Structure formats: C-alpha cells, structure tokens
Chains A and B, each alone.
Chain A
C-alpha cells in the first residue's frame, strides 16, 4: 500500500513568510535607489540594494523555524492518534526526575518520533474518524488514498474454501504439522516458496522471463526489501537518484535508518512523466558537484503514482547510464501484475536476459501486497544478479523474515498455477473496468488523467480547478476535496511532483456505485472552484 506525505512539511507557512519579506525589502530598496542616484549612481544604486537584500534574506534564514525532518508514513487505516501522542509525551516529562531531564533517545529516533503534520496523515485520520459506508455512514469520507486492491478477494476466498485443509497447519504429521513449521527456518525464506514465487513472477510478466529461485531473497514485505538493498548498496551520506513523482514511502524505506539521501529527478507531463536520460545526467552531475556520491538509481516500473510503463528503450538507456557511471539500478516492480492497459510490461529481468549486460548492478524488488492483495501477510522479494548482494541480503533477512505459516499457505496457493493464472487474468479485467469507469466519470467533469496503464490508481490533472498554480493552491484543493467533497486523495506534492495540481486517486477499493458517488462529489467541488476562479 502506498503512503504519501507532503515533502515541504509546512509549505503554506513558509511561502507566507516569504511574501511579506519580499514586500518589505522592496519598500526599503526603492527609496535607497533614489538616494544613491545622485552620486556613483548606477553602481551604488544596484550594489547597495542587492547587499541589503542579501543580508535581509540571511537574517530571515537564520531565524526561520527549523524544518522537521521527513515525516514517517503510516501504513494504517487506523493511524496513531495525534492528540494522544502530545498528551502522553508531556506525561512522561512530568514523571522523570533528576537534573538531567528525561532519558535521551537517539537522533535517528527523535526525527521519527515527531508528530505527523503532513496533510497525508490528516487525511488518513479523517477517514478513520469518519469512514464512508454505503449503508451506515453514507456521508462519510471515501478513501481514495490507499493503493489497495479489493476487487478479487472472492477468488482467494473460494480457493481457501476448496484448499484449506491442505494448507498451513494440518495434523496429519510431516511437513504440515506444527513441528514442520514451528522451528527455525532459513531466514531468507523456504526454497519451496522461492520456487513457487519464481513461477508466479514469471506468470505475472507473461512468461517472457524465467526467474531463478537461487537469486531470490524473501522478506516480510517490499518495505524491508528496499531498505535492505539500501543498506547493501550505499553508505550513510550517499545518494540514490529517483524520478518524480515517486511513492512517498521511499523517503522512509530508503533513508530513515540508512542515512542515505534521495535526489529527485523531475519528470514532466509533457513527457507523460517518463524519465529522460538528460534529466538523469543533470541530476547526477549536480549531485556530484555537491560532493555527494551517487550509488544508484531507484525506479518504479510500473510507476507509482503516474501509472505508466517504462518503454524498452528507456530501460536500455538506463542500463547504459548505470554502466557508464558504475552505479546500481533498483527496480521496484511491485505493480507488474496490476495492469489495465493494452501495453506490454517489460521487466528489467527480461532486458538483462536478452543482452550481454553487466548484471551485477541490477536488483529487482517485488511483493504480493498489490498483485495478490495480501499486504497483511508481509511477503516481499529481492531478486538480484549480484552474488555478494545476495549473500549480505540473506543475512539481513533475519530482521525481516516471512512468518512460517504464511509461507506454507503461499506455497500451496502459488503452486496452484491454474488458480494463479485465472486470478491474474480476472484481476486485470476488473481493474480495467473500474479504471475505465472512473476515467469516464472524470472526463464528464472535464478532468483529464495522465495516460497510464498500470497500478491501482489514476494520476489525475486537477490543475484546472486550483486557484493559484502552486503547491499552496494544490493543497487548498486537496483540503476542499477532503473536507467538503469528503474524499481522500493524495496530492502530487506529497510525491515530490514538480507540477502542481496532480492527484493520485486509487479506485480499487471502491465498488461501481461508489465511483458514481465520488464523481458526483468531485463535480460539486469542481463547480465551486470554477465559480471562484
């Protein structure tokens, strides 16, 4: 599930702080220019105001309140209660004694502990306080901010009904009894699950690639898979280049405990948000100039939130670039099976297979949270071609292993290839239906979406509805959508998108009837925006 957050932390207050400054500055400069016009006019007239302006900005910079660090993101439907957090922090301060004050936590922890003031959390909290329910709470807030897929549970439930007695824990003895799954297992996953997963991944990409189980490391979700790779490929202070807009969770997964930086490489709507190698090269050089070592590129393919696929050519170019700069590529393919368009998904694994590339620099991340709708079971994959990385990653999975009963259940499920094949097909079909319905509804309101063909969401262009073409304007619209239209969507600024007005709207948690209601609500807000603009 994706989480988003606002990167600028307090965008409104900052831009507001800046504007009055500018105005005050100008009022000082203009009379000054008049004064100096008489003597040494041009030079003094330009130098002095510049100097004054510079010192004024410096003064302001020093006295601006410190930015909170990137906020952590909650994967929850019931996120932490902000009010409670404040209260209990002060309580612990009261109870501590001694002249030292309360016992200290690490600086890593301090930044993570700060209360979440990101709009994304406000959105999640609001939804959990007032969740929409067709019958019991028809005026509640409809959730379009979580990329979860609820369309195909009936298929899994049917499978469970037919296969339950063979899966998980039986009492027939042997592998299925508790003595089979209770003891210590290899921390990077049972070989049987790796084999089953390799088969599933191959089905997902349409059998264009076969995956080797011995190159696989299984983790408790894609979240730790990314973190483990970050720990293995980069030292604290190093950086990864990441095309924007990107999944806000990367800020947590790749950076929190690793000390690694993420450098955004901005993509534009004119390119349909597809990465340009020129932009990548620029970002690489700029980062190097700042004295920061770039260790790799992190891409999502299919993209989140933009929902597009990287064309074959771009993948080749990326590999060439990585080889030229001698860096890694981490490719998050978690939405590979959640396709709704007609385009063909090309996995990085396929590119590597067909060409004689230096495979040591390529690492793929996958998981069952999206394509199989099982985020709660915590199943992720690192698929790497680099033996040293596999060796280190294997050891690191002791901190993030998949629970044995879940492994057993999935071995059964994924090995049933008839089931998985049917599931993959029907899933795509249902995602497509919802997508088409949603996009058609938006079209009627005059709202366009980016051209996309994968993911559980649309990347919607609502720039026409925002009052000022800025992050502030975008967040104002987000607020209206949340509190007036009562739908929770993810603003592009939370995904580091450089163009304001884009929103990610997940539609796979909705029913067909819900979509109609969502469109109607957006319509009402759209009307008010048009009137006021």
Chain B
C-alpha cells in the first residue's frame, strides 16, 4: 500500500491573495445579483435593473453615424503601407495624430478655456490604468494619497492594490453639500502624519463621482494652495468633464493653472478617458496629462504595460480630429444627459425622494436617509438589500463610497433606454407608496 505524500502547494504572492482588490464590497455584490437576473424589456421584464454602472449609452447613434459616413476610420485606406505601419506601431509615445486629436478634444470640452499640449498627453488603456500608473509614479509603498469622500469605490483597488499606497480620506458631509473644505484637507493631512504616513498628493474627481456635481472655482483654488503649501501633488480625475450639463459650469484645474500662468503647475496631473463622455469603455482609452516633464517621461515608459491598440488610436484619431463632429457630439450629448437628469430628479421627487443638486455625470446622488430604520451603516445595507431584491434595482450604497453619513445612494441613469428608466422610476414610486401605506 503506497502512502500519499502531500506535496506542499506552490505559493503565490501577497498581491495575488490580498483582498485589496475590494471586489467583495456591496458595490460589486450588486453586480452579481444583476448578472444572475438581468432586466430585459421583452425576455425578463421583472429582472434587476442595473443602475449601478456608470456607462453612457445615450449618444451611440452619433458615433454610429460618424463611422458609417467615415469608413476610413474603421479601415486603413488604400495605401499599401498604412495597415502594416499601424500594425507595427507600438511606440509608447502614441500615435501623434491621436495625441493631437485628444488634446484638441479636451480643449473643446472646456470651451477653449484651457490649452492642452499634445506633447504632454500620455496614453493608457483606460483611466483605471492612468490612475494606477500615476500612483506608482507619485508615491512609494506605504505612502498615502488624500481622497475626498464619498469617492468611486474602484479607487480602493486602482490606487492601492499593486502599488502598496494607502488612501487617507478627506471627510466631506452633507452640511455643505459635500464640498471639500480647507479644514478637512488639514485634518486628513494631520491624520496621516499622526500615523507616520507620508502624504504624497491629493486626488480629486471633478466632476465628482458619486456626487454628480462640479467642484467650485474657489474650492479648486484652495486645494491648489494647499498642495503647494505642503509641496505635494494634485491629481484631478476629470473623466466626466464632457458630461457636464452646461459647459460654463465646469472649471477644470487646467483653467486655474492658466490663470496663474502655470506657476506651481509641475505638481498637477489630469486624468481623462473616453469611457464616459464618448461612451466607449470597451475601447480602453485613457490619458494622463501632466505639467511635470519627469512625470510625462516616466509615465510614457510605464505605459508599455498598458498601451492602446494602434487600430483603436487610428480610429479615434479620425473621429476626434473632425471638429465638426466633436462640437456637435459634445453639445448633443450634454443636452441628452441633462434631459435624463431632469427626468430622474422629477421622477424621484414625485416619489418623495430628494437628491443632491447635481450638474454633471451619469448618475444622481440620492438621499434615502429618512427611510433608514437605523441611521447606521447596517441600516443602509438593509435598505440597499431591499432595493436590490424587492424593488429589483441595483443602486450603489454610499458606504461603499466611504461616506460617513448613512443613507445616500448613487443611481445611474445613462446606461439604459428612456423606457427602462421610466420603469425603474415607477418601481421606486410603487415602493415609496407601499411604505407610506405600511406606516
């Protein structure tokens, strides 16, 4: 009889086994529920409606029109060399025509109020990669970035997992509509110092996710002064900059810097992507725009791990360098998002639910605190569970965005048709009516 000798199993790294990917939070659990029972107009009208995914599906027709009338974008033209050149192109500097088009698109979004130099555009496969890359460059393992709450749950993974960098929250609350205050900035910095953690920078999202609101000029000025005083970096994730309902209401950090003639600008870095404004998350297109030459050089080299397919760069260069198309797209996209926003706000209001006043993004920030049995995190999760399993809507609980006040939820409205949104609103309406009757 042979004796089974157990072989020691081969070990994996700490990164591989760590929980820092954060995919066990409710934010991701809701997706699982949706995957198991997804709503479909015809095949599954009582399924879970996905309102937890910030995707922009309202302007696909504009993209399709463009591609139909510009077949050269999806092919490589008649020239013998153009396909092979494109297929061979893996230069981390990126396709010059695409960088130029991206810079000019970013200018257009800001109404020409800021200039962007194509030489400072670094390309990455998505803003997810851009944020991680910047973190690798700006901070060492054990250092920290300050991030205002509530924040996009993906940051826990993108900024921390492989980098070993920590996030120290800058606490914001509803008393002033969640605006970032100088006191909150100082408090966060001191909290980090007290734990012997070196702060390397502040990361803001403007327009904010999940608030769906732009940051005011005065607040941006204060943040810039703060990071200058502390001699740290400022990363401004402006991924929703094209989704502001009214162009004049968005102030980019780039404008602030221009007004200051770029003094102290070498500490500022902007992240952008086409996933939200252009509704193309599947294309994996992100960018880092840095005013710091060393960061640009290093980010370029590091982007070797996350290059954008040259085929995609070519396609988007055609699209974004067409000024007529982009002007039209930006304007119409804004309009449609605003219309959706108005629709959902009205629908929620008539159900007795208030939201934070927003002016941007693909979602609204809903206040359900009056409905909580207990004003605690557990109370919020209980309510979230009801919304998910009874009302069959997947919405994102504020606790997964690290907010200290329970009861707030992010609700996405741009990743579905108007009909589906109406059905979702009806379900909420019915839910609220039921609760009134139960009381």
- A contacts, CB < 8 Å to B: 1, 72, 74-78, 80, 85, 88-89, 91-92, 95-98, 100, 102-109, 112-113, 148, 150, 153, 156-157, 160, 164, 168-169, 171, 177-179, 181-185, 220-221, 223-224, 227, 231-236, 238, 252-253, 256-257, 295, 323, 326-328, 358, 360-361, 369, 373-378, 386, 388-389, 392, 395-396, 398-406, 409
Contact = CB atoms under 8 A, between A and B. Distances in A.
A201 B136 CA distance: 34
B293 A153 contact: no
A504 B205 CA distance: 48
B370 interface: no
B210 to A, nearest CB: 17
Interface in B76-104: 76, 80, 83-84, 86-93
B228 interface: yes
B369 interface: no
A215 B319 CA distance: 36
A167 B405 CA distance: 49
Given A109-B137, A109-B295, A375 B304 contact: no
B307 A378 contact: yes
A96 B266 contact: yes
Interface string B1-29: 00000011111111111000101000000
Contacts of B280: 182
B298 A406 contact: no
Nearest to B274: A182
B360 interface: no
B137 to A, nearest CB: 4
B306 A220 contact: yes
A485 B438 CA distance: 90
B128 A403 contact: no
B309 A235 contact: no
B309 A323 contact: no
27 contacts: A1-B90, A74-B91, A92-B294, A97-B264, A104-B200, A105-B292, A106-B137, A106-B139, A108-B140, A109-B137, A177-B64, A181-B282, A182-B63, A184-B282, A231-B13, A231-B15, A231-B16, A232-B16, A235-B15, A257-B162, A328-B10, A358-B7, A376-B87, A389-B16, A392-B15, A399-B162, A402-B309
A315 B309 CA distance: 34
A396 B162 contact: yes
Contact of A405 (B76, B228, B312): B312
B136 A109 contact: yes
Contact of B309 (A103, A183, A257, A377): A377
Interface residues of B, number: 87
A80 B300 contact: yes
Interface string B271-294: 000000001111111000000111
Nearest to B306: A400
Given A178-B63, A402-B309, 15 more contacts: A74-B92, A92-B266, A98-B228, A100-B231, A105-B295, A178-B64, A183-B282, A220-B305, A257-B162, A369-B90, A375-B88, A402-B284, A403-B282, A405-B283, A406-B309
Given A97-B264, A171-B64, A113 B297 contact: yes
A136 B241 CA distance: 46
Nearest to B261: A95
A98 B91 CA distance: 37
A164 to B, nearest CB: 6
A64 B359 CA distance: 60
Contact of B92 (A76, A326, A361): A76
B63 to A, nearest CB: 5
Given A103-B267, A107-B140, A150-B84, A403 B91 contact: no
A378 to B, nearest CB: 5
A378 B126 CA distance: 14
A340 to B, nearest CB: 20
- Listed residue (A98, A232, A400) with the most chain B CB atoms within 10 angstroms of its CB: A400
A76 B295 contact: no
Nearest to A509: B88
Contacts of A104: 200, 231
Given A85-B297, A182-B283, A404-B283, A233 B266 contact: no
A92 B80 contact: no
B343 interface: no
Contacts, number: 265
Nearest to B139: A106
A388 B15 CA distance: 12
Contacts of B166: none
Contacts of B380: none
Interface stretch (B53-61, B381-389, B392-400, B425-433): B53-61
A220 B309 contact: yes
Given A80-B300, A169-B74, A400-B129, A103 B292 contact: yes
Contact of B302 (A178, A256, A405): A256
Contacts of B137: 105-106, 108-109
B237 interface: no
Contact of A157 (B16, B21, B83): B83
A321 to B, nearest CB: 13
B324 interface: no
Contacts of B89: 375-376
A227 B305 contact: yes
B232 A74 contact: no
B246 interface: no
Given A76-B91, A182-B60, A156 B309 contact: no
A231 B87 contact: no
Contact of B136 (A97, A106, A406): A106
A112 B10 contact: no
Contact of B15 (A113, A169, A232): A232
A233 B294 contact: no
Contact of A373 (B8, B9, B87, B140): B87
A461 B315 CA distance: 44
Contacts of B304: 72, 75, 223, 252
A238 B10 CA distance: 14
Given A171-B67, A184-B55, A95 B266 contact: yes
B88 A169 contact: no
Contacts of A328: 10
Interface in B100-142: 125-126, 128-129, 132, 136-141
Nearest to A77: B91
Nearest to A405: B312
B311 interface: yes
A220 to B, nearest CB: 5
B127 to A, nearest CB: 11
Contacts of B74: 168-169, 405
B68 A171 contact: yes
B308 A233 contact: no
A110 to B, nearest CB: 8
Nearest to B54: A184
A148 B304 CA distance: 17
A160 B304 CA distance: 27
A109 B262 contact: no
B75 interface: yes
B143 interface: yes
B131 to A, nearest CB: 9
B339 interface: no
B231 to A, nearest CB: 4
